[in-house]
């Protein structure tokens, strides 16, 4: 039976974390007794990790981890590497703000053996025009930097086959903030089989988003430098292929 690791980063999510665990834990159970729900607390300053520990005591397939604060992208990379070390066959990533629906996971799982990665395409977005603008801008930047067109590169709803994930993580620095974006780009540049499926994307279900538009612009400026380095590495590898 395939081992699924569902991984979520969490930062100051005390208002959401209990309901998010309750929502996603049955998906891990459905996938089998060796599958796990893993939430990585990114150095929260509230009760997020305390709540996670409470939930882990009564949910044997839930793993609560914590680490010093480093941001969303590095925390996602930390979670991916943890899942791979633990022997996951498939890794699914989403976020801990309640914006995604576990009820939309089943089609991803059913198609897992046909694709290296399956990504949610946020066709039904309810998270505001500013976020939609950022996604559209990012789509343009990706096209200009990498020469590929992606429907929704940054969606926090993605299922990845472990072997291909491990192979492609080597291109990404541990402190990279837009890790999911560049991971989708790498799969596209290397022409790996990727499927986009439509998903719903709700408003944040509680708490305050720690990433505002100003921070997004700053992260984007730093990421451009890394985009160029990653693109050069891909060009070298693809040229040797």
The structural domains of the chain, ordered by start, are 4-240 (3.90.550.10)
Predicted pLDDT at 126: 58
Under the banding of pLDDT at 50, 70 and 90, the label for residue 141 is: confident
Predicted pLDDT at 215: 57
**Cα separation of 107 and 35, whole Å?**
18
| Local structure of residue 45 (DSSP, 8 states) | S
**Nearest in space to 64 (alpha carbons), one of 12, 17, 4:** 17
**Cα separation of 161 and 5, whole Å?**
11
Strands of the 90-94 sheet, one edge to the other: 62-67, 36-42, 4-10, 90-94, 157-161, 117-125, 194-201
User: What mean pLDDT is predicted for residues 135-143?
Assistant: 77
Predicted pLDDT at 205: 64
Q: Which residue has the tokens 């949610």?
A: 120
Q: What's the distance, Cα to Cα, between the start and end of the chain in Å?
A: 33
Predicted pLDDT at 164: 98
Q: What is the pTM of this model?
A: 0.90
Task: State yes or no: pLDDT of 94 exceeds 60.
Answer: yes
User: What mean pLDDT is predicted for residues 19-45?
Assistant: 98
Mean pLDDT, the chain, integer:
89
Q: Quick one: tokens of 137?
A: 């801008």
Strand-pairing partners, residue 142, are none
Predicted pLDDT at 53: 98
Predicted pLDDT at 188: 95
Q: Which ranges in the chain belong to alpha helices (H)?
A: 17-31, 48-58, 72-85, 106-110, 129-146, 162-169, 179-189, 213-240
């Amino acid at each position: 039976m395939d081992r699924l690791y569902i991984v979520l980063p969490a930062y100051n999510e005390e208002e959401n974390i209990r309901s998010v665990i309750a929502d996603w834990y049955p998906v891990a159970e459905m996938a089998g007794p060796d599958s796990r729900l893993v939430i990585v607390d990114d150095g929260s300053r509230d009760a997020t990790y305390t709540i996670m520990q409470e939930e882990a005591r009564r949910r044997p397939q839930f793993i609560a981890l914590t680490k010093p604060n480093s941001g969303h992208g590095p925390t996602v990379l930390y979670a991916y590497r943890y899942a791979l070390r633990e022997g996951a066959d498939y890794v699914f990533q989403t976020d801990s703000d309640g914006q995604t629906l576990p009820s939309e996971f089943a089609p991803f799982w059913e198609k897992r053996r046909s694709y290296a990665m399956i990504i949610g395409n946020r066709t039904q977005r309810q998270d505001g025009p500013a976020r939609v603008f950022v996604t559209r801008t990012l789509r343009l930047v990706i096209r200009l930097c990498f020469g590929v067109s992606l429907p929704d590169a940054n969606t926090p709803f993605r299922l990845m086959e472990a072997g291909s994930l491990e192979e492609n993580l080597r291109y990404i620095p541990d402190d990279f903030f837009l890790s999911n974006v560049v991971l989708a780009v790498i799969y596209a540049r290397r022409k790996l089989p990727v499927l986009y499926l439509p998903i719903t994307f709700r408003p944040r279900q509680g708490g305050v988003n720690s990433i505002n538009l100003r921070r997004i612009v700053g992260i984007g400026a730093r990421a451009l430098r890394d985009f160029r380095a990653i693109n050069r590495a891909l060009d070298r590898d693809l040229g040797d292929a």
